[in-house]
């Protein structure tokens, strides 16, 4: 009996252990399924969100582009317009301003961007000295700052001869006056290229004094002529203004004058007719001679 009881007890314990093992396996399987289901749900939600974003993106027209910041758009839309100022010289080398007419900072209508070099014809003709007195004269070549950027070639000009190259290579030349006038020429070179050429005449002391005495007379005549011309122009302007302001009175005056002229012309014509009729002889009257002849024949 005891053996049978022990066997039954062992079988019962084995059955309980098997049931416990089966229950544990079932619970683990349930947990795994729950985890898997939650993962599937999250993946489904992500896929739905992606689909919604794709639909929203597809609703945007193709010709529209993503919005850009306003500053970048303004910088891209502003078209900068540039114009150039007048060159400081009409020949040789000078400078000019580069002016921005659109896109200036602060809403200004125009602003200077930079200053650049400008060039004109090489030959500058005859120039005037920087300064002069009765003993010496100072001449200057055509150049812009910086002065040492260019090379200068001074030459003494002689008629029917080759020019004499001087040793001075600076932009300024000091000359003492001689007993006869002299002519000088200066070539301004940039990278061994002549960019400007100017000539000077250095007069003698007596010639300079003579020119200084003659110049005031010519200046006085020029000033007198200009003054008379300005006065005449002002008078004409005032007359025109008076006529415009008093146009009705002027019109009536000229009308009365024209009518008086017409009456006078008519009277003169009537007097002329009367005088011609009195001066005319009877023989000049047509038909009288023929009538007399016909009566005589009868």
Contacts of 118 (CB under 8 A, 6+ apart): 84, 87, 88, 89, 93, 94, 95, 96
Give a yes or no: residue 255 inside a domain.
no
**How do residues 118-177 score in pLDDT, each as one tens digit?**
999 999 999 999 998 888 999 999 999 898 999 999 999 988 889 999 999 999 999 999
**How do residues 213-230 score in pLDDT, each as one tens digit?**
765 555 677 888 889 999
Give a yes or no: residue 38 inside a domain.
no
Same domain? For 99 and 156 the reply is no
pTM: 0.46
pLDDT of residue 72: 52
Output the domain CATH number for residue 170.
2.60.40.10
Same domain? For 182 and 234 the reply is no
pLDDT of residue 225: 87
Give a yes or no: residue 291 inside a domain.
no
Question: How confident is the model over 37-49, as a mean pLDDT?
Answer: 50
pLDDT of residue 186: 96
More confident residue, 82 or 261: 82
Give a yes or no: residue 23 inside a domain.
no
Q: Could you list the residue range(s) of the whole structural domain that residue 95 is in?
A: 82-119
**How do residues 4-18 score in pLDDT, each as one tens digit?**
556 666 777 777 777
């Amino acid at each position: 009996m005891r053996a049978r009881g022990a066997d039954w007890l062992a079988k019962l314990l084995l059955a309980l252990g098997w049931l416990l093992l089966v229950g544990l396996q079932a619970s683990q399987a349930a947990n795994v399924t729950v985890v898997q289901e939650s993962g599937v749900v999250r993946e489904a939600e992500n896929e739905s969100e992606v689909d919604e974003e794709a639909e929203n993106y597809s609703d945007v027209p193709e010709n529209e582009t993503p919005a850009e910041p306003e500053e970048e758009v303004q910088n891209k839309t502003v078209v900068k317009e540039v114009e150039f100022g007048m060159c400081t010289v009409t020949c040789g080398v000078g400078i000019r301003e580069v002016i921005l007419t659109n896109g200036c900072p602060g809403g200004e209508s125009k602003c200077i961007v930079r200053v650049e070099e400008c060039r004109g014809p090489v030959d500058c003709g005859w120039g005037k000295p920087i300064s002069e007195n009765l003993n010496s004269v100072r001449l200057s070549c055509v150049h812009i700052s910086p002065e040492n950027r260019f090379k200068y070639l001074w030459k003494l000009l002689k008629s029917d001869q080759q020019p004499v190259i001087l040793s001075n290579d600076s932009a300024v030349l000091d000359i003492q006056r001689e007993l006869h006038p002299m002519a000088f020429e200066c070539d301004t070179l940039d990278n061994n290229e002549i960019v400007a050429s100017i000539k000077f005449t250095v007069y003698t002391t007596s010639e300079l004094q003579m020119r200084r005495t003659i110049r005031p007379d010519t200046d006085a005549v020029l000033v007198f002529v200009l003054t008379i011309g300005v006065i005449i122009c002002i008078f004409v302007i005032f007359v025109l203004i008076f006529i415009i302001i008093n146009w009705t009175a002027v019109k009536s005056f000229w009308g009365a004058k024209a009518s008086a002229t017409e009456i006078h012309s008519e009277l003169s014509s009537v007097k002329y007719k009367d005088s011609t009729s009195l001066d005319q002889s009877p023989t000049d009257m047509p038909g009288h001679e023929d009538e007399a002849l016909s009566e005589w024949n009868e």
